Structures are given as structure tokens and as C-alpha cells.
Amino acid sequence: MNIQNYINGEFVNPINGEYIDNYNPSKGEIYGQTPNSSKEDVESAYQAAKTAFPSWSNTTLEERSKILLKIADLILEKLEVLATAESKDNGKPISLAKQVDIPRAASNFQFFANAITQFSSEAHESVGLNAVNFTLRQPIGVVGCISPWNLPLYLFTWKIAPAIAAGNCVVAKPSEITPMTAYLLGEICNEAGLPKGVLNIVHGLGTSTGQAIVAHPNIKAISFTGGTKTGAHIASVAAPMFKKLSLELGGKNPNIIFADCDYEKMLATTVRSSFANQGQICLCGSRIFVEEKIYEQFKIDFIKKVAELKVGNPSAKDTNMGALVSAAHLAKVKSYIDGAKLEGGKIVFGGNKVTVENCENGYYLQPTIIEVFDNKCSLNQEEIFGPVVTIISFKTDEEALQLANDVPYGLSATLWTNNLNRTMQFSKQLQTGIVWVNTWMLRDLRTPFGGVKNSGVGREGGFEALRFFTEPKNICIYSPS
Ligand code: NAD
């Protein structure tokens, strides 16, 4: 199936006529073509957005909210079609796409449809100076949204929904590796009555299409989710133009397990936090630190549970883990596994490619557990972003904290303990944007979402996202008494 750009409410081919292959990772075969859009397509998307902006930014909050809610309803109505498309494009189990990806894309629109009606700004009375200040929060204009392949529609809409709720018009680019559900979103927006040009979707490679969005002189804000290296490059292009930037980047998240935790709940959740979506979630807990007194028992129980995971065809109902997203990504993840021994690591489970019946050319890999003894090894310092976790033991709270923080990333952390004092100490001292205690990936969309260190700058979620997509303006009114 061939994909087209969505510009000014219409589906159009790329001006240069260039396309890239779109793969089905579960079979390792090409199943369609995606535009590799050029600067000219981005310009045309920008012009459509610019033309739509005066009217959209003056559309009442009730009307914007109504349209966003309609988009959410249509996403849910088309859940089956969208989940099937997401699974085919990405390799993830269809059950996961149905339970997580697509419902969450609908929730993103629902949430920001409601949030915009509750958004407010400050007023300051300058007592004794006969003045009142208030803050106007105005939409920025045309903004750029760029998203990755791991949670395609989920993360694409996580940016678009707040951007348009706040009155901006958008030029957006999904990952070229998983463009299908973004393409289908265009049809949904038309059906929901979103005015032409409010959302424009251009497809293509990061280095051509993405670069053209970031470098466009009149796209004044960029919301980006993806790799740390790409984020650094985007910052270097956008910063001299003084663009507003939100960067959600890579992670290498610690999962810290103390002996006093609720063991069974921890075990079941740790299997999920390690291998959900084939370990391709920026929030996965890829470094597992276990208190020494339960380490050996944990190792036995964890291996047993992980061995029960079924790697298979993403369309099959009983599949727990599908295919990795691409041949290149599989090769990258496998190279870390193959290098483990050289770094003193011991593969205690998995490590091999899997051949799936009727999907022999798909990109399947076993869930893999590697015991490491040195936190400085690349397995514990670099983001692998696949079904690979390391396990290592610790003796004291201080040691656990030191190991958890001794990494260039700072996205999220998970802590398993029933000790309140320890919970408070770790919550304060962990160098991450998110700390989950006795749970994982429990998301409340009102909360600030993002990382510190090399995991990014800025926060998404709740009013933080609406603040990002608006410019605050101070109005000072003097009124002599
Ligand atoms: P990536 O950086 O390769 O690509 C992300 C997006 O940026 C894609 O749409 C790509 O086409 C585009 N892009 C690439 N080069 C560009 C350029 N020069 N200019 C503009 N756009 C460009 O990342 P990926 O491989 O798609 O995704 C995996 C990464 O995303 C991992 O590092 C993961 O941790 C991260 N991620 C972070 C979060 C978070 O919330 N922090 C969430 C999901 C994924």
C-alpha cells in the first residue's frame, strides 16, 4: 500500500516523486512505499498551516475541544483497523496495539480536548503601583512535531493533540520506519471536521524531511521524540534560530529491587518492564539492580518467568513478543549481545534469533538476560532499546543509588520497596524525570513527562505541554486611582 502526504486536508504525492520502502518486520518483506518528502513538500505543508492559523487560533475552545473529542471517538471506532496497521508496520503484538497503542492515541486527544478548557494563566496585582499584570498565553503559530517508531500513533498524537488544542497549526512527521497509522490519522481528521491545514503530515527520512522541518525559518517550535544523538543534532540546528525546543530522548533506566518488596508483584511487573514491546520502550527498565540477599532467588524466578514468554507472529493471540522493528535494529541489538562476553557479561537466558513459522524472514529475538559485574560496561551505559536486560546485585542503599545514577541518561527509574524512608530518599536522589515506586508505566496524563541529563530537555504532559505550545505574554495595565 502506498502512503501519501496529508497537506491542507488533501492526500498528495511528494513533489520530487521519491519513495522509500516500507517493511513488515514480522515477515521481513516490503509491503508498501512511503514518500521521501523534500524541502518543497515541507514548504507546502508550512504554507497550508500558516493559512489555517488565523482562523484556527481564533476558534473557540469549545469548538476545538469538540473536534478533538470527535477524532478520539473515530480512533476508537477504528481500533481494529488501526491496531492491525500498527502491528504490521512495527512488528508489535496486535494485542498490545489494541490494549495500549491505539486506546492511548484516543486518550491523548480526549485528554487535551478537556485540558484546554481548564487551562489558565496568572494575574499579578502590583500593589502600591496602581497596576495589574496578567499573562496572555497565545499559540505560537506553526509548530513542528517529529516522532519515533516504537509507539508510532501513541507518540505522534501525544504531540499533535496539545499543539492543536492550544491553537497552533502543525507540520508533523512520523518515523519513516512506521508511517502507516499517521497516514490513517489524516483521514480521521477530515472525517472529524478538523479544518484544512491545521494538521499537515509529511513523510520521509529524518535527514531530508525531518531536517527541512527543523531548519524551516518560520516553524518556531519543535517537539521531538527520538534518539539522543538526533536530539543533539536538532538542537544544534534549532538553537541559532532561537526556536522553542522540547526534546524527549533516550533512556537507560534502572529497576531497583529491594528484598522488602512485594515479591510476586515485582516479578510480574519486571517481566513487563523488561520486555514489553520487545523492550523497545524508552521507559523500559533495562538495568536491573537486585539486593544481594534475594539476588540468587530472583535470578532463578526471573529466568523461569521470562522463559514462558512466547516470541511469535504478532497477529497470533498468544504472542507475548513480536518482531523487532527492522533488520538494522535487530543487528544493532544482537551486536550488544554478541559483545557481552568480551565485557565480562554472562548470558543467563536467551541471546539468540528466533525463527517463527510462516514468518521465517522476520526480525525475531529471544528475550535476553545478561548478568554483569561492572556497571561501566557498554551493556549498562548505552541504550540498546531491545529485549535485553542486565542484572547485577548490590549490598546497600548507597551502592544502589550510586549504580542507578552512574549513567549518562536520566529518563525514568523504578523502585521496589515497602520502606517509606527509603522511598523518600530514592525519590529525591534519583537523577531521573520520573520515579515509579512499586509499579511501572502507570501513566496519569496530567503529570510532567520527560527526562534529565542526556534524556532530554523540557516536559510533555498535562499543562506542561500546553505551556510549551503557547508563548506567555505579560500585559501590564496602569490605572491611577
Ligand atoms: P531517531 O532519533 O532515529 O528518529 C526519531 C525521529 O526523528 C524520526 O521521525 C526520524 O525520521 C527523525 N529524524 C532523524 N534524523 C533527523 C534529523 N536530522 N532532523 C530531524 N528529524 C530527524 O529515533 P528512533 O530510532 O526513531 O527512536 C528510538 C529512540 O527514541 C530511542 O533512543 C528511544 O529511547 C527514543 N524514545 C524516547 C522517548 C521519550 O519519551 N523520551 C519515547 C520513545 C522513544
What would the grid cell of residue 304 be?
Answer: 523461569
What percent of the chain is modeled with pLDDT above 90?
99
Pick from 37, 38, 101, 150 the residue to mutate for probing ligand 1's pocket: most ligand atoms within 8 Å of its CB: 150
Ligand 1 atom nearest to 151, measured from its CA? 43
Which residue's CA is the nearest one to ligand 1's atom 30?
226
* CB distance 85 to 79 below 8 Å: no
| pLDDT the model gives residue 474 | 98
Q: Given 282, 284, 359, 377, which residue is catalytic? A: 282
Q: Please give the distance, rounded to the nearest whole angstrom, from the Cα atom of residue 109 to the centre of ligand 1.
A: 22
- Nearest ligand 1 atom to the CA of 233 is 18
**pLDDT value, residue 121:** 94
Q: Tell the residue nearest (CA) to atom 9 of ligand 1.
A: 175
At which residue does the C-alpha cell 527492522 appear?
326
Q: Both ends of the chain: CA-CA distance in Å?
A: 70
Ligand 1 center to residue 231 CA distance, Å? 8
What confidence category does residue 289 fall into, taking pLDDT thresholds of 50, 70 and 90? very high
| pLDDT of 46 above 80 | yes
Tell how far the Cα of 339 is from the centroid of ligand 1, in angstroms.
25
Average pLDDT estimate for 134-151: 98
Summarize pLDDT for 388-427 with one digit per residue, the tens: 999 999 999 999 999 999 999 999 999 999 999 999 999 9
* All three cell numbers of 188: 480521521
Q: Sign of dihedral through CA atoms 440, 441, 446, 449?
A: positive
pLDDT digits (tens, 9 = 90+) for 310-349: 999 999 999 999 999 999 999 999 999 999 999 999 999 9
Mean pLDDT of the chain: 98
Instruction: Decide if 282 is catalytic.
Output: yes
Residue identifier of the C-alpha nearest atom 22 of ligand 1: 206
Nearest CA among 293, 287, 245 for reference residue 270: 287
pLDDT digits (tens, 9 = 90+) for 18-35: 999 999 999 999 999 999
Q: List residues near ligand 1 (CB under 6 A).
A: 146-150, 155, 173, 175-176, 205-207, 210-211, 214, 225-227, 230, 233-234, 248-251, 282, 383, 385, 411, 451, 455-456
For residue 423, how far is its CA from the centre of ligand 1 (angstroms)?
32
Q: Grade residue 1 by pLDDT with cuts at 50, 70 and 90.
A: confident
Q: CA 188, 190, 195, 197 torsion: positive or negative?
A: positive
- Please determine, for residue 13, whether its predicted confidence score (pLDDT) is greater than 90: yes
Closest CA to 182 of 205, 152, 161, 209: 152
pLDDT of residue 481 exceeding 80, the answer is: no
Res. 218 pLDDT band, cuts 50 70 90: very high
* Interval between CA 383 and ligand 1 midpoint (Å): 13
The whole-number average pLDDT for the span 148-161 is: 98
| Per-residue confidence (pLDDT) for residue 356, from 0 to 100 | 98
Hey, what's the cell of 200? 499537515
Give how far the C-alpha of residue 76 lies from the chain's centroid of Cα atoms, to the nearest Å. 20
The CA 293 to ligand 1 mean position distance, Å, reads: 39
Q: What is the pLDDT of residues 349-386, one digit of tens each?
A: 999 999 999 999 999 999 999 999 999 999 999 999 99
Closest CA to 90 of 172, 21, 180: 180
Q: Are 72 and 194 in contact (CB under 8 A)?
A: no
371 is catalytic: no
Long-range contacts of 75-80 (CB under 8 A, 24+ apart): 75/102, 75/105, 75/106, 75/109, 75/153, 75/185, 75/188, 76/102, 76/103, 76/106, 78/184, 78/188, 79/103
To test the pocket of ligand 1, the residue of 175, 223, 434 to mutate (highest count of ligand atoms within 8 Å of its CB) is 175
Average pLDDT over residues 173-186: 98
At residue 219 the predicted structure's pLDDT band, cuts being 50, 70 and 90, is very high
CA distance 149 to 56: 29
Say if CB 89 and CB 178 are below 8 A apart: yes
430-454: pLDDT as tens digits: 999 999 999 999 999 999 999 999 9
The percentage of residues in the chain with a pLDDT greater than 70, rounded to a whole number, is 100
DSSP, residue by residue, 124-144: EEETTTTEEEEEEEEE-SEEE
DSSP state, 149? Answer: S
